[in-house]
Amino acid sequence: NSIDDGSFTWSSPSNIALVKYWGKKQHQIPENPSVSFTLSDCKTITKLSFSKKESASDFSFEVFLDDEKKDDFKPKIVTFFKRIENYLPFLKDYHFKIQTSNSFPHSSGIASSASGMSALALCLMSIERALNPKMTNEYFIQKASFLARLGSGSACRSLEGDLVVWGKHKDIDGSSDLFGVKYPFRVHENFKNYQDTILLVDKGEKQVSSTVGHNLMHNHPFAEERFKQAHKNLSNLISVFKEGNIDAFVEIVESEALTLHAMMMTSLPYFVLMKPNTLEIINKIWTFRKQTGSKVCFTLDAGANVHMLYPEKETETVLKFVNNELVAYCQNGHYICDKIGFGAKQL
């Protein structure tokens, strides 16, 4: 099959890890398995247009964010293309135009790498499928996740929903270090439509890139224990999800977030990525839980923003709490209401 030109458009969401991926080996292989909630509204939409070149030369593409040319995105994409060219032999045959936009504000401190890289990987796989029309859906999604992983590790967990596991784990048949898989077990209805309200504490550029961050786990004094703990936390989450035990969920999720930050505080060089307002919010959440019996908990990425996770039936009370007490700690009072979602879509 040969195709001269065309375009594909995909919308792909962000995700929030419950058990965190922190530390990797060569070729984007994670040091420990992770599991995440796929988000619903925080997403990237990418249109990939392609046209055949006269003759295959080096990679050739342009990239636009919100219709504005973004040459500073190019090096990241060249790195990605180099990593995947052996798996997508057509990559040098076409000129590409990549047009992308995010549903969340550009400088919100929300990383767009998971949604952005997964959307791009899906667009590229659509070309691969057009060239190989017999491809099964299962193969398509697995290879797209495999490619997304090579763009940004956590991106391989953004294609499907509502829970995705990445990394080999003894209790999860079919789990792999190479791509994300849908969480295969029963999830109690307590976790249905779980909400994620993201409090934007610091919208600035990331202080530590995730590449630098993952590398901090090399020769880290607590690395081996941390990797073991992630396996154990994932094992425990399986029964927590089965039984609907939200108290146990809260304990695992908050411990994972604090451990991620503890790893950064105890590495060399060391970093503190929480801000005073991050801690204010965490303390307020703990007090709120004690006073009201709420099941809301927090998690963090490698930054200062706080994700508040809670059952759907608490939406009204938690948002009241956010508006009355927590907006004061958000930069310009900004927060984003999101919830569990079901993965990427072709548009």
Instruction: Note whether 301 binds ligand PMV by CB under 6 A.
Output: yes
- Using the contact rule CB under 6 A, the part of the chain among 15-23, 39-47, 277-285, 328-336 near ligand PMV is 15-23
Closest CB to ligand PMV among residues 113, 142:
113
Instruction: Note whether 113 binds ligand PMV by CB under 6 A.
Output: yes
Options 8, 10, 21, 81; binder of ligand PMV; rule CB under 6 A: 21
- Using the contact rule CB under 6 A, the part of the chain among 13-21, 39-47, 140-148, 190-198 near ligand PMV is 13-21
> Which of the residues 239 through 268 are near ligand PMV (CB under 6 A)?
260
Options 125, 302, 304, 309; binder of ligand PMV; rule CB under 6 A: 302
Options 126, 210, 278, 305; binder of ligand PMV; rule CB under 6 A: 210
The sign of the torsion formed by the CA atoms of 126, 130, 136, 142 equals: negative
DSSP string of 24-93, one letter each residue:
EEGGGEESS-EEEEEEEEEEEEEEEEEEE-SS--S-EEEEEETTEE-GGGHHHHHHHHHHHTTT-GGGGT
Q: How far apart are CA 108 and CA 332, in angstroms?
A: 11
344 in Cβ contact with 145 (< 8 Å): no
> How, if at all, do strands 345-346 and 5-19 pair?
antiparallel
Options 11, 32, 34, 176; binder of ligand PMV; rule CB under 6 A: 34
- Using the contact rule CB under 6 A, the part of the chain among 101-109, 125-133, 146-154, 188-196 near ligand PMV is 146-154
- Give the nearest distance from C-beta 185 to ligand PMV in angstroms: 20
Instruction: Note whether 152 binds ligand PMV by CB under 6 A.
Output: yes
Q: How far apart are CA 81 and CA 32, in angstroms?
A: 25
- Give the nearest distance from C-beta 81 to ligand PMV in angstroms: 18
- Give the nearest distance from C-beta 210 to ligand PMV in angstroms: 3
DSSP string of 218-283, one letter each residue:
TT-TTHHHHHHHHHHHHHHHHHHHHHT-HHHHHHHHHHHHHHHHHHHHTSSS------HHHHHHHH
Residues belonging to the chain: 347
Closest CB to ligand PMV among residues 132, 211:
211
DSSP string of 290-311, one letter each residue:
HHH----EEEE-SSS-EEEEE-
- Give the nearest distance from C-beta 15 to ligand PMV in angstroms: 7
- Using the contact rule CB under 6 A, the part of the chain among 96-104, 151-159, 226-234, 271-279 near ligand PMV is 151-159
- Give the nearest distance from C-beta 158 to ligand PMV in angstroms: 10
Inter-axis angle of helices 137-151 and 113-131, to 10 degrees?
140
Rg (CA), the chain: 20
Instruction: Note whether 307 binds ligand PMV by CB under 6 A.
Output: no
Instruction: Note whether 278 binds ligand PMV by CB under 6 A.
Output: no
Instruction: Note whether 65 binds ligand PMV by CB under 6 A.
Output: no
Closest CB to ligand PMV among residues 6, 204:
204
CA 74 to chain centre: 21
125 in Cβ contact with 140 (< 8 Å): yes
- What are the residues binding ligand PMV (CB under 6 A)? 17, 20-22, 34, 113, 152-154, 210, 260, 301-302
